[in-house]
């Protein structure tokens, strides 16, 4: 499938972090609905280390264990931790000293990855965010679509399941098709039933999969227009790992989408950057 060019940005390579963690470091944690992430920065804002973990039932404990292993929770060199994400308030007063919303975190993180970016599209586990950036690391406007999980990572996960394909391969699978079959249901539960009945009818699975990705893009486009489309656009969150979404969104918005390496850590990165600012 011919798509828009998508430029990949890579992260700075980790420096010798054993030395770095013993000096001043800044940590951002992002407690999302499906995954928990952390990023460790040195005082110069270079990324020393980062990790993405499945959240499970107790994401805070998972983060605590992982950070302890990194050596950054020792009393003598306790790092400043800023929390963001869905579960940020549970971390406050415990693992983290301060919190910022995921809007601010993504704005800071996106600006770091690509200072000229003027918009962030974040497709997360349970919500989708569109953020208009002002070019100085701050944001001017935002929309969160979170009353309903259609058009989010969860929607795609449920759909991938009906194909018995891993979510990591679902995008490339869909891209193999030349045409898409329209999915009528907006609701995740009803859409799943619709997919199953299409498969049972013998319709081309790749085309159905492409239709599902189209549904997601169709929900995102009006949100982008509501905020006011502006380029360049940074595509972040777990959803950005999906090449079909990146492809379709780029074509739909008529724009180059920038997809950073490890797009899921943009929030945690922003939280860490905030920690180093104030």
Binding site for another protein (CB under 8 A): 86, 100-104, 127, 138-142, 144, 146-147
Please, which residue, 146 or 204, has the CB nearer to another protein?
Answer: 146
Angle at 172 between CA 170 and CA 174, to 5 degrees: 70
Q: For residues 72 and 40, is the Cβ–Cβ distance under 8 A?
A: yes
Query: Least distance in Å: CB of 257 to another protein?
Result: 23
The residue among 103 and 269 lying less far from another protein, judged by its C-beta, is 103
Nearer to another protein, 197 or 225 (CB): 225
Quote the least distance from Cβ 251 to another protein, whole Å: 29
101 vs 188, beta carbon nearer another protein: 101
For residues 144 and 186, which CB has a smaller minimum distance to another protein in the complex? 144
Closest approach of Cβ 36 to another protein, in Å? 17
Burial class of residue 56 in the structure, from the number of CB atoms within 10 Å of its CB (0-12 exposed, 13-18 middle, 19+ buried): exposed
Length of the chain: 278
Smallest distance, another protein to C-beta of residue 177, A:
35
* Smallest distance, another protein to C-beta of residue 267, A: 12
d(CA 264, CA 169): 17
- What is residue 36's three-state secondary structure? strand
CB 148 within 8 A of CB 174: no
Q: How far is the CB of 79 from another protein (least distance, A)?
A: 22
Q: Kindly list the distances between the CA atom of residue 139 and the CA atoms of 106, 123, 136, 226, 275, in Å, as whole numbers in the listed order.
A: 9, 17, 8, 15, 18
Identify which of residues 70 and 127 has a Cβ nearer to another protein in the complex: 127
């893009």: which residue's tokens?
217
**Assigned token pair, 2:** 């011919």
């Amino acid at each position: 499938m011919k798509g828009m060019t998508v430029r990949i940005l890579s992260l700075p390579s980790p420096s010798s972090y054993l030395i770095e963690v013993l000096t001043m470091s800044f940590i951002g944690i992002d407690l999302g609905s499906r995954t928990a992430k952390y990023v460790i920065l040195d005082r110069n804002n270079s990324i020393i280390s980062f990790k993405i973990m499945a959240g499970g039932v107790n994401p805070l404990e998972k983060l605590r264990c992982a950070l302890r292993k990194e050596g950054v929770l020792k009393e003598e060199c306790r790092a400043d931790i800023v929390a963001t994400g869905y579960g940020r308030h549970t971390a406050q007063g415990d693992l983290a000293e301060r919190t910022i919303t995921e809007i601010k975190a993504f704005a800071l993180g996106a600006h770091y990855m690509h200072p000229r970016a003027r918009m962030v599209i974040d497709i997360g586990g349970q919500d989708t965010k569109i953020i208009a950036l002002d070019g100085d690391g701050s944001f001017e406007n935002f929309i969160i679509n979170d009353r309903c999980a259609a058009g989010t990572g969860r929607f795609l996960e449920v759909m991938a399941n009906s194909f018995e394909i891993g979510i990591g391969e679902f995008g490339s699978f869909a891209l193999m098709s030349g045409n898409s079959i329209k999915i009528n249901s907006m609701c995740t539960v009803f859409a799943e039933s619709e997919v199953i009945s299409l498969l049972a009818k013998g319709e081309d699975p790749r085309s159905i999969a492409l239709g599902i990705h189209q549904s997601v893009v169709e929900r995102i486009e009006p949100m982008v227009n509501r905020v006011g489309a502006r380029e360049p656009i940074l595509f972040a969150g777990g959803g950005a790992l999906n090449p079909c979404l990146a492809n379709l969104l780029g074509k739909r918005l008529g724009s180059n989408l920038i997809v950073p390496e490890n797009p899921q850590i943009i929030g945690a990165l922003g939280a860490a950057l905030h920690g180093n600012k104030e």
